[in-house]
Amino acid sequence: MSLVQFAIAEDPPNRLDKALFRDAPEQADLSRTRLGKLIEQGAVRVDGKIAESPKIKVTAGAQIEITLHAATQIATEAENIPLEVVYEDAHLIVVNKPAGMVVHPAPGTPSGTLVNALLYHCAETLSGIGGERRPGIVHRIDKDTSGLLVVAKTDKAHHHLADQFAAHSVERLYQALCFGVPETSDPRLRGIRGVNFEPGNIMKVTTQLARHKTDRQRQAVLFEGGRHAVTRVRVAQRFGTPAAAARIECWLETGRTHQIRVHLAHTGHGLIGDPVYGGKRRIARKAMGEHASDAIGNFSRQALHASILGFEHPLSGEKLRFEAPLPDDFSKLLSDLSNTSA
């Protein structure tokens, strides 16, 4: 049994179940349907009193307690799913995750995940700190983002790696394709809060991020009340005449959910293919040409790849750095765009 505790944020919806769905911690994995059942079971307390109906009103600042019974969770099974292992020793494993693979099981995705594959590959050697559904998982990347992850095989390694991520000392570089060209010459970037430029024409985005008020699957940019988030972006290649898209390199100082995707959308340069944060916007066909424009329109996921991962080995102290090549779909799109390079 576990207890989920949080406070209702400002401007709550007019029903308890909707307010809980909006404000419950993301890691609790609570769907609105499950929240309704928990209210029926008397497992939800508002300011210490059992909530009797999902329709009651709740005010900002109300203290919520939700009792969860872990025994109802389905056991995570080992599955023989191919893994691209980049590095492995007795303490950790680095894998190159394909786009389309979820990192760990969650409601609606109980199998076919990276964790299921790791349980088969590593048998009983994964760290237990993450719990049954997330053994060894130190950090995550989105389902439709490809690239490198490190997974702990011992509890000691897990603690050391987690400390490095918390201290922002892990090197994380992403390759991405975005609409427009996010550099100092773009007049639209002037005056956007949280955006400034560092030497070398590197765009720095500094905001806070939190779950969207009305859409639990999205993150939103805030400037108070969220979690600190910093992304740096450098333009590596321009496409189109005039330039209408770019290949960019993104460095994460922090690692919040959807951080790069949200920050690029905030600047008006959403990622190509991103269905959540506006990556389906129309491209200037005259600038890009028919072939490249069609390739952009048909790209079925966010064009984002975790290409470099560097950290200190948790036991030996050795500096490790790994690089993963672009996956085939990303490379094909890049090739289609390269014929239009500005």
CA distance from start to end of the chain:
58
For residues 105 and 82, what is the distance between their CA atoms, to the nearest angstrom?
17
For residues 294 and 306, what is the distance between their CA atoms, to the nearest angstrom?
25
For residues 214 and 181, what is the distance between their CA atoms, to the nearest angstrom?
30
Q: Which helix (H) or strand (E) holds 307?
A: strand 304-312
Give yes or no: 336 in active site: no
Q: Is 331 helix (H, G, I), strand (E, B) or coil?
A: helix
> Contact at 8 Å (CB) between 137 and 103?
yes
Which of 17, 23, 142, 329 is the catalytic position? 142
> Contact at 8 Å (CB) between 246 and 181?
yes
Distance of CA 91 to the CA centre of its chain: 25
Q: Which residues are catalytic?
A: 142
